[in-house]
Structure 1
Amino acid sequence: MSEPIPESGAAPKWQPLDARQRRVLGVLIEKAKTTPAGYPMTVNAIVTACNQKSNRHPLMTLDDFGVEKALDELRNMGAVSEVDWVGRVSKWKHNAYEWLGVDKPEIAVMTELLLRGEQSLGDLRGRASRLEPIADLAALKPVVETLVARGLMIELTPPGRGQIVSHGLYTEPELAELRAQHGGGGRPRTWMENVESADREAAE
Structure 2
Amino acid sequence: MEDTAPVLNAAEARLLGCLIEKEATTPETYPLTVNAAQAAANQKTAREPVMTLDPGAVNHALRQLEQKGLAKQVFSSRAERYEHRTAAFFGIPRQQAVLLGLLMLRGAQTVHELLARSERLFKFNDADDVRHHLDRLIQRDAALVVQIPRGPGQREDRYAHLLSGPVDVAAITARAPSASAGESASPELEARIAALEADVATLRAQLDALLAARGN
Q: Same fold (TM over 0.5)?
A: yes
* C-alpha distance in structure 1 between counterparts of 2:82 and 2:49, whole Å: 23
1:66 aligns with 2:66: no
The Cα RMSD (Å) is: 2.1
- Structure with max Cα Rg: 2
* Partner secondary structure for residue 182 of structure 1: helix
Tell me which amino acid in the other structure corresponds to 2:47.
R
* C-alpha distance in structure 2 between counterparts of 1:13 and 1:41, whole Å: 26
* C-alpha distance in structure 1 between counterparts of 2:57 and 2:38, whole Å: 9
1:155 aligns with 2:147: yes
Residues 129-186 of structure 1, C-alpha deviation per residue, up to 9 Å, x if partnerless?
221111221222211110111211111116x9511111111234xx23x543325xxx
Residues 30-88 of structure 1, C-alpha deviation per residue, up to 9 Å, x if partnerless?
101110000111100000010011211110000101001101111110111111223x1
* C-alpha distance in structure 2 between counterparts of 1:164 and 1:114, whole Å: 14
Over 4 Å off, 4+ runs: none
* C-alpha distance in structure 2 between counterparts of 1:181 and 1:99, whole Å: 28
In structure 2, what is the equivalent of residue 77 of structure 1? 68
* C-alpha distance in structure 1 between counterparts of 2:4 and 2:35, whole Å: 27
* C-alpha distance in structure 2 between counterparts of 1:166 and 1:28, whole Å: 18
Question: Structure 2 unaligned runs (5+)?
Answer: 175-216
With normalisation by structure 1, the TM-score equals 0.77
- In the alignment of these two chains, the number of paired residues is 171
Q: Is the 8 A contact 2:111 2:131 kept in 1?
A: no
Identity of aligned residues (%): 32
Tell me which amino acid in the other structure corresponds to 1:117.
G
Displacement after TM superposition at 1:29 (Å): 0.9
In structure 2, what is the equivalent of residue 50 of structure 1? 41
- From 7, 11, 29, give the equivalent of 1:16: 7
Q: Is the 8 A contact 1:12 1:99 kept in 2?
A: no
* C-alpha distance in structure 2 between counterparts of 1:168 and 1:68, whole Å: 23
Question: Structure 1 unaligned runs (5+)?
Answer: 1-9, 184-204
* C-alpha distance in structure 2 between counterparts of 1:11 and 1:66, whole Å: 26
In structure 2, what is the equivalent of residue 109 of structure 1? 99
Q: Is the 8 A contact 1:25 1:94 kept in 2?
A: yes
